[in-house]
Amino acid sequence: MAIIYPVILPVSEKDQILSGREKVLSLSRHARKALAVSARKNGFVLTELLKDDQGAPKPFDGKYWSITHKDEYVGGVLSLARIGIDIEKIRSCSRSLFKKTARQNEWSLSDDEPDRLFFRYWTAKEAVIKANGTGIKDLLKCNVIKIVDKNQLVVGYMNKTWIVEHFFFNGHIASVVKNSKVIEWVF
């Protein structure tokens, strides 16, 4: 069975205090380091990483890639199948965001703590959207179909079913498209 290695790296304090374009570029470079570790774990070598006109990562040599970055952590993952990864800090958020993220039938699937459930849904949908190369505008087109357990759920999107796995760490959540792969998180 194929193994995917999503890699999460901490962001140094000096990079966390950067701002604007300088911060974005620094975080992106750091996320690409996480991606390089994921590639090496699978025995692959990264080539030039290109994006399409919409900013979605272009596959290279039959390999798909995805990166994510936040103030405190970055992540990267490489796979032979479409892949997406997202990281968020779990925090309180406005209830208006709940309506923009999922429908009532999705919220009724779980009685988990609301903010934790919000970020499970948000990061899972974001990972699926990234795997498809589409944008955040499609967030409500993704539908959480089933919660498998505390670390996995199933998302329906574009007439396909996507299995997403979560990893909780230091007040954050990372989600990656799993489907039929075995996930070995590298932190």
CATH assignment of 3-183, given 3.40.50.12590, 2.60.40.420, 3.10.580.10, 3.90.470.20?
3.90.470.20
Show Cβ contacts of residue 120 under 8 Å, excluding neighbours closer than 6 positions. Answer: 112, 153, 166, 173, 175
Q: Mind giving me the DSSP string for 115-161?
A: HHHHHHHHHHHHHHHHHHT--GGGGGGSEEEEEEETTEEEEEETTEE
pLDDT of 137 reads 81
CB 161 within 8 A of CB 145: yes
pLDDT tens per residue across all 187 residues of the chain: 689 999 999 999 999 999 999 999 999 999 999 999 999 999 999 988 999 988 889 999 999 999 999 999 999 999 999 999 999 999 999 888 898 899 999 999 998 999 999 999 999 999 999 999 887 888 889 999 999 999 999 999 999 999 999 999 999 999 999 998 999 999 9
Terminus-to-terminus CA distance in the chain, angstroms? 22
pLDDT of 140 reads 83
Name the pTM for this structure. 0.94
Show Cβ contacts of residue 167 under 8 Å, excluding neighbours closer than 6 positions. Answer: 6, 8, 151, 173, 174, 175, 176, 185, 187
Sign of CA dihedral 156, 158, 163, 169: negative
Tokens of 9: 């790296």
Show Cβ contacts of residue 11 under 8 Å, excluding neighbours closer than 6 positions. Answer: 27, 30, 69, 70, 71, 72, 73, 74
Show Cβ contacts of residue 108 under 8 Å, excluding neighbours closer than 6 positions. Answer: none
Domains of the chain, by residue range, sit at 3-183
